[in-house]
Homo-oligomer: A and B are copies of this chain.
């Protein structure tokens, strides 16, 4: 149970009050020390989600979060990492970026999470190759040996207070943007990072729906980072369709290896080298404008593949694993002829998750069309994979109820007077 003083502070936030640095520090300490019950965590979380935080409160919160957990120190600087605000299917580019940056001689400790809402998170892909639940000491050893790592932020014990709060309210499926910023910046700062590149996907159903919202979020990330000497750069990226054409653990892992083996060059490779290029420029590894070319060369020369192999082996795994998708599969075909207009990311995510992703590593979706493709009625649009016939059936049912791939059409919606007559009187 929380202290009387802390309870008073929860009441203060519920009553729309502003908390001082000391008050926030007290709350974060009591959360870290497991003094908060689930009810108390929820009450504090909802008061934050409803009443928000001032900029000073956010900075204090971020500092207190960072100091609530382990802080790692690395000898070789600059230390750089990247993060995404998440929510976009297929956006697993960290496993391409980490080996590029590490191969370029920079230190890149990458912590990640399992997928919360998307079909597959960075950690889901990583753990098909190697253990990801490393202790702080193990993490330090891997990074000092290979320049990089891909591990669970939770197991390293970074800013545990935020994870306790998020775990307590996970059933609510509320993700306040201010907590997301505080969590990402606090965990990154706890890893001794000098530079952070944020990927902010933007689009209708993305977390940042409009570019103005993405810009506002970028300013907050930058300002909070600045308050603790972390240089944050934000790349606003397209979030209105999946990144690449494969969703799900095995499918994305296979795609990743094909890219690093220089056997295919898709959208994910394009995005990864753009982001890695910014990171190389930011740290002075190359002239401004030359980053993407350098990042590309690190892949095509085979150095990135070699580096990923080193990292995976240092974490105790191997790249030599079976990456075939599930035997149960179904082709979803075009219900009408027409031109592909766009993708419903939420529908694709739901279908992939019902098929079993990310727990079922063999579950996922492979897209056969891209925006602008002309398709005939009955033509294959995408394939759903699963390792369970029963889950596949449920995914097919969902796919038949929701159009995951949108076709161009001359009329979007018809508003008729008959409906007005009968249903409403205005």
Contacts and interface: CB of A to CB of B under 8 A. Distances in A.
Interface of A: 55, 202, 211, 214-215, 218-219, 222-223, 225-226, 231-238, 267, 270-271, 274-275, 278, 339-341, 370-373, 408-417, 420-421, 426
A411 B274 contact: yes
A48 to B, nearest CB: 20
A226 B420 contact: yes
Contact of A412 (B237, B339, B413, B420): B237
Contacts of A214: 413
A416 to B, nearest CB: 5
Given A223-B420, A232-B417, A411 B275 contact: yes
Where chain A touches its partner, the secondary structure class is: mixed
B420 A278 contact: no
B414 A371 contact: no
27 contacts: A211-B412, A211-B413, A222-B415, A223-B420, A223-B426, A226-B417, A226-B421, A231-B417, A232-B417, A233-B415, A233-B416, A233-B417, A234-B414, A235-B411, A235-B415, A236-B412, A237-B410, A238-B408, A267-B410, A271-B410, A274-B411, A275-B410, A278-B414, A339-B371, A370-B372, A371-B408, A372-B372
Given A223-B420, A426-B223, A414 B235 contact: yes
Contact of A410 (B225, B274, B370, B372): B274
Contacts of A373: 372
A22 to B, nearest CB: 23
Nearest to A408: B238
A238 B410 CA distance: 7
A280 to B, nearest CB: 14
A176 to B, nearest CB: 20
Contacts of A414: 233-236, 278
A240 to B, nearest CB: 10
Nearest to A425: B223
A342 to B, nearest CB: 9
Contact of A225 (B225, B232, B417): B417
Given A222-B415, A274-B410, A370-B372, A55 B426 contact: yes
Contact of A415 (B234, B370, B413): B234
B218 A415 contact: yes
A183 B236 CA distance: 42
Contacts of A222: 415-417, 420
A372 B340 contact: yes
A222 B415 CA distance: 8
Contacts of A218: 415
Nearest to A413: B236
Nearest to A241: B408
Given A339-B371, A372-B340, A372-B373, A215 B413 contact: yes
Given A219-B420, A231-B417, A411 B236 contact: yes
A167 to B, nearest CB: 31
Nearest to A230: B417
Nearest to A269: B410
A262 B219 CA distance: 55
A275 B340 CA distance: 21
